[in-house]
Structure 1
Amino acid sequence: MNRTNGSEGAPRAARIDTFAMPTDLPRPADTSALPPVLAGPLLRRLTPQRLVLWLVGSRPLRLSLQLVFAGSQPRLIALDGARCRRLRIGAHAWLHLLDVALDEPLPTDTPIEYDLLLEEDGRQRGIADWAPHLLYEGAKRPDFLLKSRLDNLLHGSCRKPHFPSADGLARADALLAGLRERPQARPALLMLSGDQIYADDVAGPMLVAIHALIRRLGLYGEALEGALVADSDALYAHPATYYRREDLLPAFTSNAALRERFFGGVEKPIFTSASAHNHLITLGEVLAMYLLVWSPVPWTLIRPQPPALEAPCGERYAEEQAALDEFRAQLPQAARTLAHLPSLMIFDDHDITDDWNLSAHWEETAYGHPFSRRIVGNALLAYALCQGWGNDPDAFAGLLGQVEALPVDADGRLDDRAQDRLIGELLRFRNWHYRLPTTPALIVLDTRTRRWRSESHPSRPSGLMDWEALCELQQELLDEQAAVIVSPAPIFGVKLIEAVQRLFTLAGHALLVDAENWMAHRGAAQVILNIFRHSRSPASYLILSGDVHYSFAYDVQIRHRERGPRIWQVTSSGIKNKFPACLLESFDRLNRWLYAPWSTLNWLTKRRQMEVVPRIPHRGRRGERLWNGAGIGQVLLDALGRPTAILQHNADGSAPTRFVRPAELRRAAAPAETGEAELARLRRGTE
């Protein structure tokens, strides 16, 4: 983003009167006290020939990468030129996108220590100096492992900072700490399958911290069209900026649907209640959110203070503050996980906004108004910079060039016309999905931007992927022996919940129940099921999903076909979120009764040609099929890509929950061991 002396766009609208609301103590005038690294490093896509890392600095950094492993001399690689792309996002904030092609491949299945050496004032400082919280006890550097095959995966979704639970990423850190002496038992990667941030459901204290960090780092501002505030400065200072952002839209009848869609906190009594009154709006807000959820360092730079709030909002603020304090306390462990385990990511709706691209009518409403188009575009741009690029850097080369060219005026505001053009490019971008040529192949689906829209009923939910995208998926799968497919929404979900969503959709109220599932659209459902039945399809499919705020596992087979394929649907959700307990228990029980194998209802579903057998969480007490608890999922795979163990590591620190076949339940229900001892026994095959 290039700073200029002025904007080439049209004159901005006059600012409205605002009332300053102090939300943090005055920041020090001396910005030299800022630490060099604000967030990261995050290990992203790693292969023996190429290493991709992400970090944010308070200034452009001169870095070198050091690699140390057994049987070789240490390697030192200067991160210059194309190896380190620096994108300025504020006066004191620079993205550092590290993409290192290696002349000599790194070994697989061997621990590799790494360090990012920072060169300042004639000396080098390593991670042990500028980010000691990223090191395990006794370690000199962080490390990683390049697995020769995907034999062990961690996965999860839905990490809401202010949800009152422990953090599943901190539980992953404890798991890694217990495997320091057994590197071969470490996971190959961490797959985050959606809702890594909640742009649409933000706690009041988090929004206050976001604004404090924006000021501390001088994150770039922007003009705003179609709202009652002229720009980001007016937004941050407006009395309605906390818990009342829906009031910032002009009171025109044409804005009623937009106000409800983005800020209304639409009541969804069947499943959940969306709290969108603090919806993130500007690019600076979303970028600050990423810094605050991935690193403990930015929190040390601000001293947020509660704003003046009316009684109901004040009480809510205090409750959210308590949950957020617990989240902050576990951030060092979460950051350490991301510094030791390669992570891949894909968006779901909350990374952008609730019910994103739900239907053709939703898209027409959201993209037809400049304010809502900017809201979606800013979240999507931040996703591209903070998540998407690390999955497949080559796909984003052109977009990064446009980001670098964004003009910034002398007041630190983005040129609004250039920003809107870039958002237009992002909305047309079609390479969010990606594939890893691993064993088995890993294929990550984009179920948000290439949807099968209903032309005859534009208010009905779109199919999660259109015909063209599904045909491309089929081509990717042909003649593979096994495949891991990441679909943010489960392909095989809970039939009762899908039936309730169907009823609300037919009544014209799809938004009330998050009616987004693969079976909700006849065309998409038929095509995805036919892909599994194709004669040249893989013998084994592992489908990893999230989204739903509970965890489950299904074994799936095609009826009347002896030679497969075998399909496993494994869902882990959420990392820091849960489903309302009483409601989920009721759904679970009713689903078992109404959709039992002998039930007529069972034969009326679209997947009646599939035999779906639920696995049972071994810690259940009443025959539950669904496990409700924050944490992180794990799947162990054999040489043919078939699961040998499916676990949910609970964020509360209790013993892992294993999903077992009904015949195995008696053995699995023996007194549970704790933590890594139980996992080690599973790996030895003695279960």
Structure 2
Amino acid sequence: MPCRTVLVPTHHPVGPLTLGPLLRYIGETSATIWVQTRDAAQVRVRAFDREWSTPTFAAHGGHYALVVLDGLEPGAVSDYSVDIDDLQVWPESEPKYPGLPPSRIRTLLRSEPTRMAFGSCRTSEPHDAKGNAISGVDALRAYAYHLSRRERDGKDWPHLVLFLGDQVYADETSEQMQEFIASRRSLEVPPGTELKNFEEYSHLYWLAWSDPLNRWLLSTLPSAMIFDDHDIRDDWNTSQSWKREINQTSWWHERIVGGLASYWVYQHVGNLSPEALAEDEVWQQVVAHAEEGAAGELDLTRVLDDLADRVDRHPETYRWSYARDLGDSRLVVVDSRAARVLEPARRSILDDDELAWLDGQLRGDVDHLLIGTSLPFFIAQGIHDLEAINEAMATGAWGPRIARWGEKMRRAVDLEHWAAFQEGFAAVLAMVVDVASGNRGQRPGTITFLSGDVHNSYVTQIPLNQLPAGSSAILQAVCSPIRNPLPRQVRIGQAFLGKGLARPLSFLVDHTDKVPSAPYRWTVTDGPWFDNNLATLEVRGRGLVMRWEAGEIRGDRFDAPELRQVARVAIT
């Protein structure tokens, strides 16, 4: 394969395929493929000696399609191609990165042990020396290059890559993104270099997903996604006062509407199974339009904007969380950002409707229960206690003066994880222990929270001697960042908060009735690691093997990033 520098251009290509294809949902008998096109068109996917087609829908001037492939056989494998109208656009006739394997669909087989990759926090800088100096080597891109040189049948590849938040950074933009913004409006007027609307989000997704190596990976590995704060803005929904202040700005309403509407188009719709799609209020309009054979392209601009506006004001009216069956394992992905209760008298990271849904999803009778949440559920014990104390401070447990100081501290140090919402944390922990104890069906081998956000990777576990005899292992695996490392001084500060303050903060929590004590203590068993990483998880019977791997550039081979194992953890 020739060695050359691969740079992401600033402007969209002129061909009919703007972005994609992305292989999104995969099941035993169905799959979905997402594309963005230049024009209104009919999109056709050919695979398994069959073809499926659907018309595009529009949103804010963009054109999109999600093609649902049904009637497939479990464990079947097929290369696929994509046509726009009567023109084949994928595979490309002149690929920008020659030598990559063909894009392929491989349906799930229930008897096959689950393999998945996961991680979070990935900036959209170019993949040259300058971009790597800013954000480090993209671990996802290194993983793509690694897979492209392995067995071509993909039998040992992950069944899924799970992106756990901050797929795009709407508030910390690259030079390329700022160039695009400046071509549309003044950077001197709020929100300045931050994103303003749907159209700017569309360009940011294009920057994030159009690099040839990453584009190939997303075309051949199924993906699942959930947002975190930077997909919208740092500290999104951290508190009621934060929300009140941001709503007073001149630009926020357009930003939150554009952010959530574009999230539905670029991320959420592909998370859903065909059965879940059929129940989605927006997708029902897409299907009805196609079935009626109505003239012209369906424009969802108003529908999506109204949805985004409504969900921001009334999060209980729409669910971003979802679940997927992966062989004998189950993945439940939880929205820990948009569904929050922020009233000072009652704070919860999940509202009552979301808690009830999650309560119904957390069941045994699976080999492994995987819970995806962008924010770590089990954070380092010292930081957990600090966030619990800070929540009590900010909600007035020690009076209004301390409350004001507590709110400033919350935002300054990002004290807004599950631990900062003690009501929701306690409710979900009780559900999980119930599953582990065998009270909700047969005990899984493990119950594993998969998370990101904190820009370091680690594993925590509740010691088995604290749980009822015979319980499942309950652990947390964090992989963050994929590409956005912390400065060294911030790493030192995190380590101090996590370890240096653990004992005094634990003493304070144990000696006050204003802060609830965690019913279990957990320990960091492995890590932290601060590299850009992508993690992989493999089911091994009743246990797991997890690896964290980072990318490396040797010399000037920017288009051939190597993969280096940072850590390997076995849960037996």
Deviation of 1:181 after TM superposition, in Å, equals 4.3
* Residue identity in the other structure for 2:567: R
* Residues 227-252 of structure 1: CA deviation (Å, up to 9, x unaligned): xxxxxxxxx34xxx22x333xxxxxx
Q: Which moved more, 1:543-552 or 1:363-372?
A: 363-372
The corresponding residue for 1:76 is 50
Shift in Å at residue 368 of structure 1?
6.0
What is aligned with 2:198?
Answer: 283
Instruction: Provide the C-alpha distance between the structure 2 equivalents of 1:165 and 1:117, rounded to a whole number of angstroms.
Output: 36
Amino acid at match of 1:343: S
1:497 aligns with 2:392: no
Q: CA deviation at 1:500?
A: 4.4
**Who is 1:152 aligned against?**
115
Among candidates 20, 33, 39, match of residue 59 of structure 1: 39
The answer (yes or no) to whether the contact 1:200–1:353 under 8 Å persists in 2 is yes
Distance 1:543 1:377, change over 3 A: same
In structure 2, what residue type is equivalent to 1:484? L
Q: How does 1:29-108 map to 2 (within 5 A)?
A: 34-68=14-48, 75-80=49-54, 84-87=55-58, 89-90=60-61, 93-102=62-71, 105-108=72-75
* Structure 1 stretches lacking a partner, 5+ long: 1-23, 69-74, 213-235, 247-262, 264-276, 296-330, 406-413, 617-624, 665-684
In structure 2, relative to structure 1, the CA distance for the partners of 1:169 and 1:455 (3 Å cut) is same
Q: Distance in 1 between matches of 2:252 and 2:70?
A: 39
- Cα distance 1:590–1:284, how it changes in 2: closer, same or farther (>3 A)? closer
Matched, 1:522 2:422: yes
Q: Which 5+ residue runs of structure 2 have no aligned equivalent?
A: 1-8, 126-133, 290-298, 394-405, 553-561
Work out which of the two has the higher radius of gyration on C-alpha atoms and give 1 or 2: 1
Separation in structure 2 between the aligned mates of residue 601 and residue 595 of structure 1, nearest angstrom: 10
Structure 1 segments, 4+ long, off by >6 Å, are: 402-405, 414-419, 596-599, 601-605
Identity of aligned residues (%): 21
Query: Does the CA contact (< 8 Å) of 1:37 and 1:130 recur in 2?
Result: no
Partner of 1:312: none
Partner AA of 2:51 in structure 1: I
Question: Who is 1:273 aligned against?
Answer: none
Structure 2 residue identity aligned to 1:524? G
Residues 388-416 of structure 1, C-alpha deviation per residue, up to 9 Å, x if partnerless?
A: 111113354426749999xxxxxxxx999
Partner of 1:565 in structure 2?
A: 472
1:192 aligns with 2:163: yes
1:21 is aligned to none
| Structure 2 counterpart of 1:658, from 564, 567, 570 | 567
CA distance in 2, matches of 1:520, 1:578: 24
Task: Quote the Cα distance in structure 1 between the aligned partners of 2:472 and 2:509.
Answer: 21
* Cα distance in 1, alignment partners of residues 301 and 563 from structure 2: 50
Match of 2:222 among 334, 337, 342: 342
Residues 364-394 of structure 1 deviation map (CA, whole Å, 9 limit, x = unaligned): 3444667422211111100011101111133
In the alignment, is the contact (CA less than 8 A) between 1:193 and 1:347 conserved in 2? Answer: yes
What one-letter code is carried by the residue in structure 1 that aligns with 2:27? T
Q: Could you tell me how far apart the structure 2 residues matched to 1:571 and 1:57 are? A: 35
CA-CA distance at 1:567 after TM superposition: 1.1
Equivalent residue, structure 1, for 2:142 = 171
For the Cα contact (< 8 Å) 2:226–2:267, is it kept in 1? yes
> Do the aligned partners of residues 45 and 419 (structure 1) sit closer, same or farther apart at CA in structure 2, a change above 3 Å counting?
closer
- Give the letter aligned to residue 630 of structure 1: N
State the secondary structure of the residue aligned to 1:449.
Answer: coil
Distance 1:286 1:525, change over 3 A: same
Q: Is the contact between residue 489 and residue 545 of structure 1 (CA under 8 Å) also seen in structure 2?
A: yes
Would you say the 8 A contact 1:134–1:142 is kept in 2? no
2:332 alignment partner, SS class: strand
Cα distance in 1 for partners of 2:508, 2:565 equals: 34
1:456 and 2:345 aligned:
yes
The 5 Å alignment of 1:151-550 reads: 151-162=114-125, 163-181=134-152, 183-210=154-181, 236-237=184-185, 241-242=186-187, 244-246=188-190, 277-295=192-210, 331-367=211-247, 371-392=251-272, 393-398=277-282, 401=285, 421-427=306-312, 428=314, 429-438=317-326, 439-456=328-345, 462-481=347-366, 482-501=368-387, 506=393, 507-509=406-408, 510-534=410-434, 535=437, 536-537=439-440, 538-539=443-444, 540-550=446-456
Q: Secondary structure at the match of 1:129?
A: coil
Cα 1:597/1:53, change in 2 over 3 Å: farther
Corresponding residue number in structure 2 for 1:232: none
Q: C-alpha distance in 2, partners of 1:191/1:545?
A: 10
How far 1:160 sits from its partner (Å)? 1.3
CA separation in 1, counterparts of 2:497 and 2:238?
Answer: 27
**CA-to-aligned-CA distance 1:257-316 (integer Å, 9 cap, x gap):** xxxxxx5xxxxxxxxxxxxx4111122111121122111xxxxxxxxxxxxxxxxxxxxx
Q: Deviations over 1:11-69 (max 9, x none)?
A: xxxxxxxxxxxxx99x9xxx9x921111100010022322211111112334432224x
In structure 2, what residue type is equivalent to 1:99? V
Alignment match, 1:676 = none
Aligned to 1:301: none
Residue type of the alignment partner of 1:474: D
- In 1, distance between residues paired with 2:45 and 2:303? 35
**C-alpha distance in structure 2 between counterparts of 1:419 and 1:187, whole Å:** 32
Q: Which residue of 2 aligns with 1:579?
A: 486
Residue type of the alignment partner of 2:123: K
- What's the Cα RMSD here? 3.4
Partners of 1:658 and 1:344 in 2: CA distance: 24
Q: Return the match for 2:81 from 105, 115, 118.
A: 115
Match of 1:578, SS state, is coil
TM-score (norm 2): 0.79
For residues 589-629 of structure 1, what are the alpha-carbon distances to aligned partners after superposition, in whole Å with 9 as ceiling and x for unaligned? 6634554799857967966543423233xxxxxxxx31001
Tell me by how many angstroms 1:545 deviates: 0.2
Q: 1:78 deviation in Å? A: 4.0
Letter in 2 for 1:128: P
Q: Secondary structure at 2:40's aligned position in 1?
A: coil
Q: Secondary structure at the match of 2:356?
A: helix
CA distance in 2, matches of 1:560, 1:611: 11
Query: 1:151, 1:639 within 8 Å by CA — same for their partners in 2?
Result: no
Kept in 1: contact 2:52–2:67 (CA 8 A): no
Secondary structure of the structure 1 residue equivalent to 2:80 = strand
Higher alpha-carbon deviation: 342-351 or 414-423: 414-423
The 3 A distance-change label for structure 1 pair 590 and 396 is: closer
Q: Tell me, in whole angstroms, the C-alpha distance in 2 between the residues paired with 1:54 and 1:134.
A: 21
User: 2:385·2:509 contact (CA, 8 Å) conserved in 1?
Assistant: no
